[in-house]
Every structure is written in structure tokens, then in C-alpha cells.
Amino acid sequence: MFIADIKKDFYDVVANQRVALLVAADIDALCACKILQALFHCDQIQYTLVPVTGWQDLSTAFLEHKEQIKLLIKEDDDLGVPTYDDIFRDEDEEEGEDSGNESDEGSEPSGKRRRFDEGAIERRIERQRAKRQWEARRREILFDYEQYEYHGTSVSKMNCREKKSFIHFGLDGYVAAMWAIIGLTDQWVHDKIPHMKYVSDIATVQRHVSRHNHRNEDEENSLSIDCMRISFEYDLRLALYHHWSLYESICNSYYTACSFKLWTLKGQKKLQEFLADMGLPLRQVKQKFKSMDTTIKENLRDVIEESSNKYGMKDIRIQTFGVHFGFKNSFLASDMVHAAAALLESTERDENDPTDNFIKALDALSRSHLDRLLSGIDLAKKKLIAIQQTVASCICTNIILSQGPFLYCYLMEGTPDVKLFSKPLALTLLCKYLLTAFIHSTRNKRCKLLPLIMAAPKDVEKGTVIVVGIPPESETSDKKNFFGRAFEKAAESTSSRTLHDHFDTSIIELKSEDRSKFLDALITLLS
Amino acid sequence: MDPSEVEFLAEKEFVKIIPNFSLDKIYLIGGDLGPFNPGLSVDVPVWLALNLKQRQKCRILPPEWMDVEKLEEIRELERKEDTFTPAPSPYYMELTKLLLNHASDNIPKADEIRTLVKDIWDTRVAKLRLSADSFIRQQEAHAQLDNLTLMEINTIREFLLDSLNCMYKLRSNLQPGATKGQFADY
């Protein structure tokens, strides 16, 4: 959505109408959806929530609802929005209605529909000509713009930032801040924004949160323990470690696993040395974190930071937030992201409706469905273990091949847990971990600067694979991903049967038979 | 009477809120509710206060009796006396539950208040049980208890009346030949 700054304009327009909310299937969009839902509930605005998984879904949903709605709100943190102008324009043209307005309001489409005026044929012809010219120019601009796809500020954070103008609507900024934090952490976990941006965004949110915390805690902590508290933490980068054992968490978080190279025997020994260096007995470290000795837990973070500096892991601690309510429930933002992502893409049951999973993931983010969140955490643990094992087997069997301008890896159908990796988010995570692991394990200097393309079987009956490309790993990368355009061009030139449906253009579906010629085309394109 | 009915009656009590919106005076069947101005406190019934709170349109101020020291004094007094002392409010139990469930962030020391109110409730209900027990045992004809709230009366009403009915039947059966054959199955 291209509203620049003043959300007040948007909200006032929307306030008295019925709204259709089309939400993409990733955690940032979910968080923004939650914020908007809270707003709509408070002001009793009717809305329809439609989860969409790709451009086709988006257009179907739009066509279904177009009779009743005038303004579309699509939530996506990716700035590839202008394309939905096409949807507006195409189907209006089919119906032959007077849609001349839309060429004027390119970036803020409010598709006002007017009845076909029979007497205005000349006006129409003139307008159509102007429109064609405009469209040609637009295509040029869009091509340059979409060449590098990257993610703008997290949508939920944008929503939260405009909170100030919402204060007079009385929105509880605190709960919205929680969702903004989760959306931001999702971008960081799935590697969509560079580290610097994450840190600066965290600082902004921290200001909001501390302002609210100060307001509440003037007389000696008089707030009930049941109220939700958000606290700023400089916590460890180990995934889910509060809900798991410390040992498991170290083994299954990509940062530690790759630094120690835990797929080798030497790596395992190094891990044991590391634990011994810190003075943590193995028995303690292997039991559930909540039941660990409190004397050990007190200085755990500092002790780990000291030791990890010795072993070359400089960034073991990261600034993040934790949510606490009640005595038992405290979650870090990254825990919630992992849980929600695992629920969103769960392959537990065979005929799972994507809408079902979407609703489950949405529930997990709210405070009243703690059991959902806990089941999400369990699923996330399984997912992380699966990712780690797959990475280990890929590195050990050397199935990552250097194809020249990029690295390539194909997951065979018989690989365990391969069903998990037919989903885009899980596959992207696997890709990222694999690339880091590969960089740590290879000696070839040139290979360390290459991007990675990964393919995994998506649907065995239809014979399709899902292909994901991620940019090369580097300290100062701004995470711009050129694979979207590259995939499109390669598909065109070899006339492979591809589906560029996903909002993230670097993820596509491909027929398995066309895989080899697609790859060859890519190699020639990128070299 | 159902406890939820008692809670419904309790929601008619007035409580002070600080709205963050403005609205002119509204005229409802039950009475007028004064003009709402952001930042100025106004008295509204509890049902409206809770609705506004859930829509994040107001801040609820705790009633005067909902204060840790006052409740501690009442609790001590209750434990000392054999009879019932005046309750903090005729609907203290329901109001505590409603306000602490929905607006605990506006009420300081909410956890302690919850514990104190529960203590007061336990003491009073224990006294009530004791009194009902002695009433039945000594087969008194009438008794008078002051300072009971509707919720407490409701708790004991069904049991007390049923047990008195049973006692009556047992007593009337003891009279020789009087109500033979007239015993209606209870």
C-alpha cells in the first residue's frame, strides 16, 4: 500500500465503509493484519479478511469481492504493489467500463466505478490513447524499479509508527507495539532486511515501548502480574532456547551450528570444549531450560558471550524484545516468529487448507490462545531440527554444485522431511542456513561470494518443483535480490512452464522436466 | 437466581471513568449520562465503562473502597466480629471480578486487592454457613442477618430453603397418624 505518511487520511476514508483486507501469507503481514483488526474492532468497522498466497489468489479474491468494495488494502512488506493496478485495469477493460480515472491515480488506486456512459465514446477514445502512452512509460519505470526487489519498512512497524495519529482514536499502542516488534523480528529472522536497518528500527520501537513502560511503573511496580509487559532484552541468538534445552538450541540454531561446524566430528568436539570452557555441566545443559539450575541461569548470557568471543562468534547477542504475562509465560519475539511461521506452513495433516493454517497462525499471535502458540513452538522445534539435519546431509554429501555464477542445490524426493521444504518460508530459511554452512565449510574463496539457488519438490503428482534464489552472503549486503527478473527472463527464453505466483518474486514453481534447461538458461543469463 | 443474573444487576452500579473521546449528553431509558469530554472524569454504569474500556476509549478509575489499606481494615474487622460487618459495597465481589478482569492495568496493586477481597468473601461465607447450620440444628423459627450482600444470599439461598423444606417434612412425619398418605413425593 503506497500511502506515504499520513495514515489519518487513509483511516478516515475507510472508517465508514466496509473494508476487504487481503493478507499475504507471511508473519509481517499477519502482524499488520492484527493491528488493523484491533483498530477495526475498536471502531466497529466491518471488514472481510481474505488470506491470499500469490498474485492469482489476489486477483480471484478481488474479482469475487469487487461488487462490494471500492478500496483495496493489501498487506505486504514488499514494494511490488503497483502490479495490482493491472488487475484493476485489465478487468475493467474487459467489461468495457469507463475507467479513465485510474490512469491518473497510479499509486493510490481507489477504483471508483462509473456506469458506462454511451454518449461519451469520443472522450473514451481520447482517453484510451493517453492511457496507452502513459502505460508504456509506466512499464519502463516499473522495470527499473522491480529489477531489484527488496523489502521496505515492515508494514506492521509502519502501522505502529503512525500510532501517534491513532492516539486520538484511542488505540492501545502497547499491544500494537508487540505486533510491530514481531513483524520486525520476522523480517530479520527470514533475512529480508540488513542488520543495520534492524538495529535502527528496533531503536525506534524501543522508544515507544519505554515511553509506555514509564507511564505504568511510577509507584513501585504496582502493575498486576497478569498485564502484558514488553521488555527490551539483549538476549542470545539461540532459537527457542527458553522453551528447549540449551544444548539442543545451540545445535539447531544456524549461527552456532555453522560457527562450530556441527556436522563434523571436530565441530562436536569443539562444542564440548565450549561448554566445558563456560563451566556448564553437560547434564544441566541438556535438560529443559526452565528446569536448569538458577545459579547457572543468572549469569548465563554474559558467560556465553565471553566464551563465544573466544570461539569467533562475535554476534551471539542481539537486541530484541520479550513479552511477559503471568508468571509462567515469557516469550522472545523470535520465538513467536518461529512458532507462527511453523503454524502457517505446517504440513502435519494431509488435506490442510491454507486458510486453516492462516487462522491458526493468526490465533497464535494473540494472547488468549496460548496453547496454539505452544503447539507452534513444538512445530518450530521439529522444523529447525529438520533443517539442521538436511543442511548436515547436504554438506556431507556435497550436493551443492557451483554452476559458475551461482551455487545450486537440489533436494531429492527421498530426503527426509522434504515435504516441509515445499513451502516458501521454510525453504528460504533452509537456503539461508545452507549458504552460511557452505561458506564456513568450503575453502574456495570464490565460492564464498556466490548466491545460492535451491530447488525442492513441491507437488509430486503435478511434477513441480519450487525454486528459491537468495543473494550472496556478505556483511554489508542490503539484501537486494535480482533473481525475480532473472527467473522470468530465463523462463521466457526457454519457454519453460513456470508459475511466478508468489509475492516474493525470487520464489517460483517450475515443472521438473524443464529444470535442466531452465538452469542452463540462467547460467548463460547471469554469467 | 443465577450468579450471572446477580452480576447483571451489579453492572448497574456507577463507576468513574476518564474518556478519551467527546460526546454530548446521551439520554437513555435508565437515566442521562453526562457529556463526555476527553480527560475529564464522568460517572457511568459499569456495563458502559467495560464496553468503552474494551474498545479502548476510556480509563477506569478504581472505586473508593477498592484500596489496599481500606480492604485490609475491613478484613481485620470481619475476622474479629461474630456478626457481619458492613460490606465495602453491596456488590463488592462482582465489581472486583469485573473490574480486575477487564481493567487491571488501571487499578494499582490489583493482585493484592484480589487476594484481600477473596479473604473477606471467605470469612463472610464461613460465618454464613455457621449461622445457617446453627439455625437448622436448633430449629429456630426465624433469624435476622444484617449486612449481607445479594451474592452471598444467592449462594446460600437454594441450600437453606431446601434443607428447611426437608426438615419440615421430617417434622411433620413425626406426628402420629396426622399426614399419612398425604406425603407428596419431593
Q: A282 touching B, CB under 8 A?
A: no
pLDDT class of B9 with cuts at 50, 70, 90: very high
Is the pLDDT at B175 greater than 50? The verdict is yes
Collapsing DSSP to helix, strand or coil, A391 comes out as: helix
Model pLDDT, residue A172: 57
The reply to whether residue B104 touches residue A226, judged by beta carbons under 8 angstroms, is yes
Q: Which domain holds residue B53?
A: 3-172
Q: Does B110 touch chain A (CB under 8 A)?
A: yes
User: Looking at the domain assignment, is residue B145 inside a domain?
Assistant: yes
CA gyration radius for chain A? 25
Q: Interface pTM (ipTM) of the complex? A: 0.73
Confidence (pLDDT) at A118: 42
Mutate to test the interface with B, among A39, A216, A224 (most CBs of B within 10 A): A224
Asked whether B68 and B109 are in contact (CB, 8 A), the reply is: yes
- Count chain A–chain B contacts defined by CB atoms under 8 A: 33
pLDDT at B91 (0 to 100): 93
Instruction: Give A219's contacts in chain B (Cβ within 8 Å).
Output: 108
Phi first, then psi, for residue A494 (nearest 5°) are: -105, 5
pLDDT of residue A83: 36
Q: Which residue of A has its CA nearest to B59?
A: A170
Does residue B180 form part of some domain? no
Q: Is residue B26 part of a domain?
A: yes
The DSSP result for A190-234, as a single string, is TT-S-HHHHHHHHHHHHHHHHHHHHHH-SSTT-S-TTS-EEEEEE
| Cα A91 to Cα B142: distance, rounded to the nearest angstrom | 83
State the pLDDT at residue A518: 86
Q: Is residue B182 part of a domain?
A: no
Q: Return d(Cα B107, Cα B116) in angstroms, integer.
A: 14
The answer to whether A432 and A191 are in contact (CB under 8 A) is: yes
Q: Is residue B65 part of a domain?
A: yes
Residue A20: the pLDDT is: 72
- Render the burial of A323-332: b for 16+ CB within 10 Å, e for the rest: bebeeeebbb
The pLDDT value recorded for residue A136 is 56
User: Which one has a higher pLDDT value, B130 or A174?
Assistant: B130
Closest-CA residue of A relative to B111 is A224
Q: Domain total for chain B?
A: 1
**Contact between B111 and A224 using a beta-carbon 8 Å cutoff:** yes
Is there a domain that residue B179 lies in? Answer: no
What span, in angstroms and rounded, lies between the C-alpha atoms of B96 and A99?
59
Contacts of A44 in chain B (CB under 8 A): 55
Query: Does B117 score more than 50 pLDDT?
Result: yes
Measured in whole angstroms, the distance separating CA B24 from the mean position of its chain's CA atoms is 33
Query: Would you call A94 an interface residue with chain B, using a CB distance cutoff of 8 Å?
Result: no
* Position B113 in a domain: yes
* pLDDT score at A122: 57
d(CA A199, CA A176): 19
Decide if A219 and B108 are in contact by the 8 Å CB cutoff. Answer: yes
Quick check: B70 pLDDT over 90?
yes
Query: Cβ of A170 and B110 within 8 Å?
Result: no
pTM value is 0.77
From first to last of its 527 residues, chain A has per-residue pLDDT tens of 333 333 455 566 666 677 777 777 878 878 878 877 887 787 788 888 888 887 787 778 777 766 554 444 555 444 333 333 333 333 333 222 222 233 332 222 222 233 334 445 556 666 666 666 555 555 544 444 433 333 444 445 555 544 433 433 334 567 777 877 887 888 888 877 778 888 888 888 888 778 777 766 655 556 777 777 888 888 888 888 888 888 888 888 888 888 888 888 888 898 888 888 888 888 888 888 888 888 888 888 888 888 888 888 888 888 888 888 778 888 888 888 899 888 888 876 655 677 888 888 888 888 788 888 999 999 999 999 999 888 888 888 888 888 888 888 888 887 788 888 888 888 888 888 888 888 888 877 777 788 888 888 887 788 888 888 888 877 666 666 778 788 888 888 887 778 877 777 788 888 888 888 888 888 888 87
Is B89 an 8 Å CB contact of chain A?
A: no
User: Which pLDDT score, from 0 to 100, does residue A454 have?
Assistant: 87
User: Which residue segments constitute the domains of chain A, with CATH numbers given?
Assistant: 172-217+224-384 (no CATH), 396-526 (3.10.310.40)
Identity at B74, one-letter amino acid code:
I
Domain CATH number, residue B125: 1.20.58.1020
- Residues A464-494: b if buried by 16+ CB within 10 A, e if exposed: bbbbbbbbebeeeeebebbbbbbbeebbeeb
Mean pLDDT computed over B82-103: 91
Q: How does strand A452-459 pair with strand A407-410? A: parallel
Using the Cβ of B108 and the Cβ atoms of chain A, whether some distance falls under 8 Å is answered with yes
What is the CA A205 to chain-centroid distance, rounded?
A: 19
Compare CB distances from B105 to A42, A171, A227 and report the shortest one's residue.
A227
Residue B185 lies in a domain: no
- Output helix, strand, coil percentages for chain A, rounded to the nearest 5: 55, 15, 30
CB contact under 8 A, A224 and B110: yes
Q: Does B104 touch chain A (CB under 8 A)?
A: yes
Whole-angstrom Cα Rg for chain B: 22
| Binary contact (A42, B105; C-beta < 8 A) | no
**pLDDT band with cut points at 50, 70 and 90 for residue B1:** confident
Residues of B in contact with A168 (CB under 8 A): 20
